[in-house]
Amino acid sequence: MKVLVADKISAKGVAWLKKQQGFDVVEAYGSSPAKLLELVRDVDAIAVRSETKVTAALIAAAPQLKVVGRAGVGVDNVDVEAATERGVIVMNTPGGNTIATAELTFTHLLCGARPVPQAAASMRSGQWDRKTFSGSELFKKTLGIIGLGRIGGEVARRAQAFGMRVLAFDPYLSPSRAKAMQIEGVPLDDLLAQSDYITVHMPLTDDTRYMIDEAAIAKCRKGVRIFNCARGGIIKEAALVAALKSGHVAAAGLDVYEDEPLPAGSELRTLPNVTLTPHLGASTAEAQDAVGVEVAEQIADVLNGGVVRNAVNMPTLDAATLSVLRPYLDLGSKLGTLVQQISPEQVASLRITYWGKIVELDANAITRAILRGWLLRISGDNVNFVNAPFLLERLGIKYEVIKSTGEADYTELIQVEATGADGAVRSASGTLTGKASAPRIVSINGREVEVVATGKLLIIENSDEPGMIGYVGTLLGRDRVNIANMSLSRQEAGQTALMVINLDSEPSEAARRELKAHKAIRLAKFVHL
């Protein structure tokens, strides 16, 4: 079996692979996309870091490909959807760089408090300038952490050791979790207003892009210090540059950027009060050895027919069981994603109910698929089938699984219910249809629907009155958005009606605002599946 190591993972990982019987390891560091298309024709596995792009075209050019292993957390450089469609397992190593990134973040915090890099440069030029490089102490200062996942939690522990007060904003963090960590959970605006230092540890999503922009920085106290070792694009660089120039932001530290490598002409390079590092988050010998060996072991397990670990697109299963469960896993993941997007931010519990033949299958694997689907837009690349229950527990969300022997309207049915902190329940049910076992949504919030469980959905709850279907269709047509399918449901005439519309493209922000502003529309939610 051939393993292509496309990026330079640790030498220990490569050496471990070469020792495995029956493995032909090809090291192809720095290969061009064209060269890679040639090399993958007969490979069974590809190992990458962040440099090589595993595109749909590359996957299509590798008919024998079984697994892609990413030595690191993110899988931004892998087309996971294309891999899943081809049945290719995509794995990452989610825990290997946690400490390295947390320590780098704290290094930036210290350099923001005490301008050590600037002072060192001054000394090398022959100067002895003590006044210019006066700093401040971390002791008794307030650190605001945006995103309290694995890395954010490690940063918090280090800040507490320095005697800092720690605030955290994470919309999915429960009060009990914050209390256990001796952290104050606060709204984002409060964190911005109260923090002396701010660090971000969120995945880059549509919701977090430019989370720290001109408006957010304006809410911060003058002299705030801002740091990002998570993902480029969470902080709007143009806004940060302006604030650094004006002095509203006293100092900043960045390890990630909107465009990488950071362009040579970037104004960030010219500012004296910003410390820049070239995406070094996982760049320690210990972290690289850990993720290199880990990804090598995971690849070998898959190729030798063993367990699947840390997969981002499937659970830990043997190949025979996986072939049976695959359509249920797809359905479960989409139900979890759907219910999360129609639920409030603060959710207390989830309930998953199975009816029919599914009860006899490995419901644990399907449950993990549902939990991963729920967490996907919250935790981004960090969530997989292995760690989904742990991440949910860390958010303070409990879940229960019910295998029902009662009757249902379908031979096989899965229902996912989310109970909010206010007691309100949001739900969706689904089944498999046809010879292809295609996933189908059959109810949303207790109302019967018939919806293809894929792509882009527009979910509308409105007063049941004449003209609403025409109004929505006209608005979408004017916005150049094509309707692929529509399902209508109501419980009683004149009460609340439900429209679920499959769309070919996203409605514009203006169209969404117009929908939400209509007096008869109570809910207008755009959902990605």
Quick check: 496 and 519 in contact, CB under 8 A? no
Closest CA to 46 of 296, 358, 305, 356: 296
**Catalytically annotated residue among 157, 279, 326, 490:** 279
Q: How do the residues of the chain divide into helix, strand and coil, expressed in percent and rounded to 5? A: 35, 25, 40
201 is a catalytic site residue: no
Query: Is there a catalytic annotation at residue 394?
Result: no
Residue 352, burial from CB neighbour count under 10 angstroms (0-12, 13-18, 19+): buried
> Is 153 strand, coil or helix?
helix
Catalytic hit among 85, 260, 286, 465: 260
Query: Do residues 335 and 353 make contact, with C-beta atoms less than 8 angstroms apart?
Result: no
Catalytic residue check, 412 = no
State how far Cα 297 lies from the chain centre.
Answer: 24
CA 64 → CA 41, 45, 251, 303, 320, distances in Å?
8, 8, 51, 11, 18
The residue annotated as part of the active site, out of 150, 177, 225, 231, is 231
Question: Using an 8 Å Cβ cutoff, are 400 and 428 in contact?
Answer: no
Helix (H), strand (E) at residue 57:
helix 56-60
Q: Which residues contact 298 (CB under 8 A, 6 or more apart)?
A: 67, 69, 91, 93, 308, 309, 310
d(CA 239, CA 227): 14
Sheet holding 483-490, edge to edge: 483-490, 496-503, 456-463, 521-528
Catalytic residues: 231, 260, 279
